[in-house]
Structure 1
Amino acid sequence: MTSSADITRLQALIRTIPDFPEPGIQFRDITALLADADGLTLALDAMAEGLAPGDVDAVVAVEARGFLLAGGLAHRLHCGVVPVRKPGKLPGPTLGVSYALEYGEDRLEMHQGALRPGARILVVDDLIATGGTALATGELVTRAGGHIVGFRFLIDLPELGGAAKLAARGWSPRALLSY
């Protein structure tokens, strides 16, 4: 079980960069955590808590920082990794979902046939904010025939409501840190 000392250690490895990428945004930079072997191990172990090998058939990793966490989680859970990417990044036929942004639209894609019907999926990303990317990924996994067993994030920004939106859909979001 992750202790309060563990949480404090992880928080110390995350920098807050004000006004990036635009004024008013407090960017949570996980670079130092990724570079610290003990911190990264602690974060991955904590993210895998509550799951055992055999509980998950695949970790679905959200571009791009989710990729950095997914391999370690998949190794712990003895399963594979399926990338979810922006359009035009995957070769071959893809399945895609478009979703609304505050000003405009975006799209996520994964390879057709990447998930077998009924596959138990853990969705992983570094951060949840408004939930748009996570909701779109959940929809993509569902359309592909997967069954979401949970979402794991390093960081939640609860004031923006993304985790609550996932929970309202019946999905189980879990984050290690909140800001």
Structure 2
Amino acid sequence: MKTVKDYIRTIPDFPHEGIMFRDVTTLFSDPRGFRMAVDQLLHPYVGTKIDKVVGLEARGFILGGAIAHQLSIGFIPVRKAGKLPGKVISQDYKLEYGEATVELHDDAIQAGEKILVIDDLLATGGTAEAGIKLIERLGGEIVGCGFVIDLPELGGRKRLEALGVDVKALCTFEGL
């Protein structure tokens, strides 16, 4: 029987030489693989009160939207700076090659709402941490973060767990 990891293709030397890119588009394009990923991301939180799902740009939108649909709850995107109309709050974070900013509508989350954060890949944890900070600034409470892939050597899980966040990943890949 195939696992989620079996549906993920590796592309060597993308986007730079020495990088092994973990491509989830092959997972998303297979109906069994996609369903498996959504179900397994949701499974640890069955019975947990969740008010909204937050997806991190961009592949987190695909997974988060599907999970929100399964739960019959709202979906909220955390976007790159300048992509959301209306009033937003912003959070800067560091990348291995510079800095970036993510944004969230300032009225997307009400104080006390229980939020599940979803993305495809956990690497350094910078984007997820920035998203968590935005959610918490609006008074949201993180019930957990779910990822398809964890790259443990980059330390993202430890970074998020140091914030007191429950982290789940469906599979891991060693190396970069």
Q: Same fold (TM over 0.5)?
A: yes
> Aligned partners of 1:41, 1:102: CA distance in 2, in Å?
32
Choose which of 78, 81, 86 in structure 2 pairs with 1:87: 81
Say whether 1:158 aligns with 2:155.
no
Say whether 1:112 aligns with 2:106.
yes
How many angstroms does 1:78 deviate by? 2.2
Choose which of 118, 122, 128 in structure 2 pairs with 1:134: 128
Q: How many residues align?
A: 173
> Letter of the aligned partner of 1:133 in structure 2?
T
Kindly provide the CA deviation profile for residues 66-108 of structure 1, in whole angstroms up to 9, marking residues without a partner as x: 0110111112222110000001100001011011222321100
How many angstroms does 1:50 deviate by? 2.2
> Aligned partners of 2:71, 2:163: CA distance in 1, in Å?
25
SS at match of 2:44: coil
- Aligned match of 1:175: 169
> Aligned partners of 2:6, 2:94: CA distance in 1, in Å?
34
- Aligned match of 1:9: 3
Q: Which 4+ residue blocks in structure 1 deviate beyond 4 angstroms?
A: none
Kindly provide the CA deviation profile for residues 127-157 of structure 1, in whole angstroms up to 9, marking residues without a partner as x: 0001111111111111111000000000000
Structure 2 unmatched runs, 5+: none
> Aligned partners of 1:101, 1:44: CA distance in 2, in Å?
28
Deviates more, 1:101-110 or 1:116-125: 101-110
- Aligned match of 1:62: 56
Structure 1 unmatched runs, 5+: none
Q: 1:53, 1:78 within 8 Å by CA — same for their partners in 2? A: no
Q: CA RMSD in A?
A: 1.2
> Letter of the aligned partner of 1:41 in structure 2?
R
Deviates more, 1:168-177 or 1:98-107: 98-107
How many angstroms does 1:53 deviate by? 6.3
Give TM-score scaled by structure 2 length: 0.94
Q: 1:52, 1:77 within 8 Å by CA — same for their partners in 2? A: no
> Aligned partners of 1:160, 1:97: CA distance in 2, in Å?
21
SS at match of 1:108: strand
Q: 1:53, 1:77 within 8 Å by CA — same for their partners in 2? A: no
Say whether 1:148 aligns with 2:146.
no
> Aligned partners of 1:155, 1:54: CA distance in 2, in Å?
22
- Aligned match of 1:22: 16
Give TM-score scaled by structure 1 length: 0.93
